[in-house]
Every structure is written in C-alpha cells, then in structure tokens.
Amino acid sequence: MIRTRLLMLGGLLALATSVPAQQARMTQWVERNPTGANDRIALGYAVPIPVDTPLPFDGFRSYAGLHARHQDLQATTPWVHGEVVGTTLAGRDIWAYRLGDADLETVDGLPEPAMLTNGGIHAREWQSPEVVTGILELLATHPEDDHFYDYLRENLNVIVIPTLNIDGFLQTQRYPARNYLNTDPSNPDTSPRDGRMRRKNMRNADEDLLTTLDHLEGVDLNRNNAPFWNTNPERSSSDSRSLVHHGASPASEPETRALDAAAGLGPVEELRLYTDVHSFSQVHFWARNANNRLTGQTEAVLSLFSNHHRSFVGKNYLFSNRASVPVSQGIGSTDEYFTHTYQVPSWTLEVEPTGGQAFHAPSPGCGADYGGEANNCHDGFILPESEITRVREQLAQSFAAVYYRQAGPPAVLEAKVFDPESEAVVFEAAWDPTDTRQRERYLNQLQALQLGRAYTLWVAYSKPMRWREGGAIVPFPGQLESSLFVSTGLRVGDNNLTVETSDPEWRDRAGPAPGGYLRYRDDAVVIGFTLPRDEVNSGQVVGSTEAQWAHLTADMVRMLLDGNPATAAYWRAGAWSGYENSAGEEGDTGDVDRTLSVQLTDQDLLPPFLAEPGLASAWADPSRDGEGFIIEMLADQRAVLYWFTYDDAGSQDWYIATGQVTGNRILFPELLRLNGGVFGPAFDPGKVTREVVGSASFTWSGCDEGKLVWRVGQRLGRQSVLRLTR
C-alpha cells in the first residue's frame, strides 16, 4: 500500500487549480432524503449532534464537555497534570495533559519515557478528540491493578493533546449538519467546505457560516510543518482557499507551535513515540528518514498496534512496508516533523471507517461501512453515534499496548535460588540503579548449588511480563501462544549443562520471593530445577565450579530481554541504546541474559543455615558509625526491628518494624517512622503518628553475619551487618 490520500475521499488531495465559478450551495446532512433535494445529503443514519456533557456516552461530546472532562480528571485523580502549551488564533488555551504520576521518574528513579499523542488537528474529524480523550480516561480511571495500568502510570509520561485545532473544531460543532458545496477550488461538486466539514484552522475566517467570502480560508495544520513544508505542490498549496493550504511559513500557526511545545513536556530527550490521530480510512501513514533502525522500530510499533486492535473486532489497520514509503520526502505533516526532528516512531492514525480501498474489501467504505447511504464519501467523517464508544475505548487500549512497548525492553532485575524445603536463600543477585543509565550487579552466594539437589529459581523483571484473562496466563491481545516461552539453563565455559526444569509459574500476588512478585503482578516467574548427576554434568562440575546462567524470555509484546542489564536501555537518535545481545553488541532485538554466574559443586552439602532465636542481638554495619539495629525474635516466626540511623539532614532518626522469619531471612515489609512525641512531661500519645517509609529484609549466612537490603522511598541500599552482642 502506497501512502496516498485517496481521491475518492472527495478533496483530501485538493489541488490549488481554479475551476469555473459556481453558485455556492448551502447543504445539510440529514438521515434520509426521500425527495432527492440537492441541498440535502443523506447519511442513512442519524446526524450526530454534540452534547454538553463531560461523561462518555454513545455519542459525541461538545468541546465544552470534553474540556470539562479533562479538567475534572485533573482535579479528581493523581494521574492527570494539565498545562497550557499555547493559544489558538482566537486566543483560546490549548491544553496538553501529562498522564502518569507527578515525578517524571520510574519506580527505579530513572527518567520516565515520554509518549505524545495529538488529537483534533483537523476540525471535522470528530473521532479524533474522542479517541484521545479515551486514552486520557483509560489511564486516569482504570482501577489500580498492580499490573499493566499501574506500570504505565508509574513509569511513563504520556502526553496528550485532545484538541489542537480548537477554533476549527468549535466551528464544526456550531454547524453540526451544515456546510457548502460548489465552492472548493478543486472539487466543487464533491468536497463540502466549512461548517461541519471545516478541516483547517480559522485564519482569516470568521465564525459566521453565512459570510461566504472567507469560508474557504484557513491553514491546514498538517501541511504547516518542517522539513517538507511547501515541497509537494500536489499535496499542499499556496492558495489560501485550498483544503491543504500550507500557510505562510513552517510553523506559522500558533497551533503548530503549541504541538511542539507539548513535546517539551517530555522532555524532548525522553520522547519515544508520536501519533497524530485523524479520520478516516482505517490506515496508518508513516514517514521515513535515512535511519534504518528507526524504520524498523516504526514498523514494529505499527505491527503491534494493528495486531492488537485486530484482536477486538477484526478492524484491520494497515500500513505500507518500507519499500513503499519514500525516504526523506513529505507533504509538511506532523509525523514527518517528529520523525526527522526527534527521531521517534511517528505516524498518522486514520481512524475508521475504511475509505473503500481494495485492501479493505469487502468493506464498502465511508458511511456505508455502517449501513449508510454514502451519497458523499465525506460521510466517513461523520461516524454514527452508536460506534464511537467502541472506537474510543478499543483504540485507547491499542495505544496503551504501544506505550507499554516503548516503555522499554524487559531486563532481569533480581534472581534468587531457594532450597524448596526450607525456603532458605542459597543464591541471590540483583541489578541496582546507580545513575540514570547504569546498574550495578550485586551477587551473594550463601551455598554452592549441588548436583542432584532440587532448587527453586525466582526471577524478577523490570516490567510486568504476562497478560491474564480470568486469572489464567494467555497471550497478550494480538500475540501468539509462542510469545509465552521462558527458558533457563547453565553452562560451564562453552558447554551447556543438563538442567531439568518445571513449567514456569508467574507470580500474581503480593509478598516476598519466591511466592510473590517484585513490584507488579506477573513481573516475576518461578521455575523449579535440578542439575542431575549425569555424564554431562559430572564431566563439567568437579569440586567447586563456576557456571553461567543463560536466561531468555520476552515481555507481553514479544520484546526479548536486554542481554546486559548493567546498561539501562533508553532511546537515542532513532533507536535503542543500552539494549544488548548476549555478546554485548548494541541493537534493537535483545537476547539471552548471561550476566550472572553461580558456583556449583559435586560434593554433598549440609542443609543451608536457617534463622534461629539466637539472632536476637544488636547488629551494625562496621562502615557506618553511630548506626545500628536491634532485633528481637518472637514466637510464631515473628521478629521486631529497631533501626537507629540518621535523616537526610544528619540528625538522629529511627525506625521500627515487625517482620516474618522465613528460611534464613527476616522480612520487614513496613518500616515505620514515629513522629509527634516530645521529651518529658508534655508527651501526648494522641499526637504520635506512624508513617510507612519503606521496607527492609535481612538474609543470614550464619549466626554472626548477614546482608541487609532496604528501600526507603525510591532509594535502595545494601549493607553487610555483623553481630555486636550475644
């Protein structure tokens, strides 16, 4: 499929050539036209009229209703943060909304990736503001799930502009059933203009539909962009009357500049995706530059979007392959600007209905896709009210799918090996962030892994990895069953060992490893394994032997693991950076993670050390003067922690916690800071408050030493502790 705006859409490719003057004819869209009156155009279904309501319904909201909805969600949820990014020609504020938490950091303290989705650039395309508002509504109102949507909200900065061309949009809603025929300079008989069919902004046009001298004026905001502004006379025009008038210069229009300002909310260096939502023809249009890696990633994004959306109702959104998309050519559209300026996957989404294209057969196209009469194919801009709820809600979910992908490739964050009988940890590893782009590897092996002994492997990742329906793991919508694979193995040098494994079990409940997930449901998997004493293993494991893990899986949308978690993957110059294969080579595909090593043995070992009452003691990290811990061991495998430390200003601080003893660990899920008390007789217990500041856990290798890991806010720390008292 070649990227062309179809002539059958009645003027979308309007040329600036003049035609003989004809009498302008005011026409009206109606449901039926039994008399065949030439001032009526029958839809075959009810003419949608915008309603002043903020809440979604089976119909179209007015601009006032949509704006009220956005503002209400900003006021009533923690996930919507509005900002005025410009004003229209008429002085109306253009709002962009950041969707997600407020801190612009992931849960690991890394910069949040940014996505930008624009709506309402062409006034008559009412589907567009509804779809973009649907994205806002989905992310703002979806219930907390400790899974997909919480992950998006806590780790992404999704920027949306529901309506860019506000002046033009309001003009279409003032006259929701009326427009002119016989006035378009290129297609007077078939291309209705102004009123309901206004496409452009309102430059040099007033709001009175009856003043005909200016009703063709305005600038097509999707022809007003660098780098291909005014380079294609067949697709844009210097004639201000043309449907595709490109304006006086690139970004001459305040709405165009507002869109670029919204990209700055990312900020721009964190931008990873751009979409301009239009209607209609049910396709993706995209632009290419000379960056082949960007081309490949754009195709991957579009394929994911299309496959995901097809899983709902079979609506097929097609796109051209790279061979059909010319390199570094264009018409002045916004997707070209974002492709070339910011080098992110960028495209124009043309919402349904189809345009009657052969590749959409047997759909007849335009309003006829819904049983309409299609007397004028511009009825495709007038979606039946009965369809908009489905379109809005399902497209919002497909956008969420590509946001999840562009959040970044999955990476192993933690791995633990347990003795299944006691749940004692015998090996643990983690990748801890040290700055915005780097992680540091932590390894702690408490006992070698013994040939012939059963173990439990728990691996946690940087994002939720599996989708569920009815509680069962299923492929993500649009993905194949083969996307659910997990493989893990060990090798000594270049020789693979025999590893007998159980089926993987993904964790969807809160709690410590191995029973729970790390941060989000299904971000951790458990695999039982044994290294049998067979000929292969006995020949490779002699005494204490170092082996290398080989672990591979994919996330919900089949992005493979980052082969080296030490470099946190991010987007730069049109491709992934820090996304490596197992050989350390940077690319866009990922590979097996071979970064963790483990000690094996062919000797018979004693059972691992288990936490015992004798751990009740005072403990300290010798490198941290004045800081220490007191642990009390209670009945029923319970414990109490008193942690004496410092606050950020260097003053004394302390935490208390109760925890659970399990295996060789003591887990304290809630560290409490107490405030409000005063020294002496003025103490009032009613003023004491308890604040949860984080969590802590101790793993003991013996009676006299152990490891502490703590999380306070988004900070993470690891310390070695030694016994002070007996």
Q: Copy the structure tokens of residue 290.
A: 């000379």
Per-residue model confidence as pLDDT tens digits over 601-656:
999 999 999 999 999 999 999 999 999 999 999 999 999 999 999 999 999 999 99
SS3 (DSSP) at 694:
strand
Residue type, 722: L
CA distances (Å), origin 580, targets 38, 54, 410, 496, 564: 64, 46, 11, 22, 6
> Strands 424-433 and 412-419: what pairing?
antiparallel
| pTM of the full structure | 0.95
Q: How far is CA 515 from CA 309, 420, 458, 622, in A?
A: 34, 11, 9, 33
Q: Crossing angle, helix 127-141 and helix 385-406, to 10 degrees? A: 60
Q: What is the pLDDT of residues 392-422, one digit of tens each?
A: 999 999 999 999 999 999 999 999 999 999 9
pLDDT at 243 over 60: yes
Residue pLDDT, tens place only, 467-478: 999 999 999 999
> How do the domains of the chain map onto residue ranges?
7-406, 412-601, 613-723
The pLDDT value recorded for residue 8 is: 35
Same fold: 7-406 with 613-723: no
* pLDDT computed for residue 24 by the predictor: 87
Percent of the chain with pLDDT over 70: 97
pLDDT category at 16 given cuts 50, 70, 90 is very low
User: Across residues 496-517, what is the average pLDDT?
Assistant: 98
Residue 15 reports pLDDT greater than 80: no
**254: CB partners within 8 A, 6+ apart:** 86, 87, 88, 89, 94
Asked if pLDDT for residue 17 goes beyond 50, the answer is no
Per-residue confidence (pLDDT) for residue 130, from 0 to 100: 99
Q: Residues 312-330: what's their mean pLDDT?
A: 93
> What's residue 227's pLDDT?
98
Q: pLDDT band at residue 234, thresholds of 50, 70 and 90?
A: very high
| Kind of pairing between the strands at 114-119 and 93-99 | unpaired
Residue-level pLDDT at 314: 76
Question: What does the pLDDT average to over 201-227?
Answer: 97
Count of CA atoms in the C-beta half-sphere (13 A) of 221: 33
Note whether 400 and 148 are within 8 A (CB): yes
- 6-15, 65-74, 711-720: which has the highest mean pLDDT? 65-74
User: What distance in Å separates the CA atoms of residue 663 and residue 455, rounded to the nearest whole number?
Assistant: 14
Burial class (CB in 10 A: 0-12, 13-18, 19+), 388: buried
The DSSP letter of residue 111 is B
Q: How confident is the model at residue 86 (pLDDT cuts 50, 70, 90)?
A: very high
Convert the pLDDT of each residue in 417-469 to its tens digit: 999 999 999 999 999 999 989 999 999 999 999 999 999 999 999 999 999 99
Residue 265 sits at the vertex; the CA angle it makes with 260 and 269, to the nearest 5 degrees, is: 85
- At residue 22, the pLDDT reads 61
Task: Indicate if the pLDDT at residue 517 is higher than 50.
Answer: yes
**What pLDDT does 726 receive?**
84
Percent of the chain whose pLDDT exceeds 90? 94
Q: Name the β-bridge partners of 642.
A: 630, 656
Instruction: Give the chain's length.
Output: 726
pLDDT recorded at residue 18 = 40
Q: Which CATH architecture has domain 613-723?
A: Beta Barrel (2.40)
Amino acid at 306: S
Interval 541-554 mean pLDDT? 98
DSSP line for 337-389: HHHHHT-S-EEEEEEEEE---GGGTT---GGGGGT---SSGGGGGS--HHHHH
Residue 12 has a pLDDT of 36
For the cut 50, the answer to whether the pLDDT of residue 6 exceeds it is: no
* Radius of gyration from C-alpha coordinates of the chain: 31
Residue 7: is its pLDDT beyond 60? no
What string of DSSP letters covers 246-280?
Answer: --SSTT-SHHHHHHHHHHTTS-GGGEEEEEEEEEE
Question: What's the CATH class of domain 7-406?
Answer: alpha beta
Which of 546, 520, 517 has its CA nearest to residue 459? 517
- Given this model, what pLDDT does residue 23 score? 79
Query: For residue 571, what are the contacts with CB-CB under 8 A and spacing of at least 6?
Result: 113, 270, 271, 272, 344, 406, 577
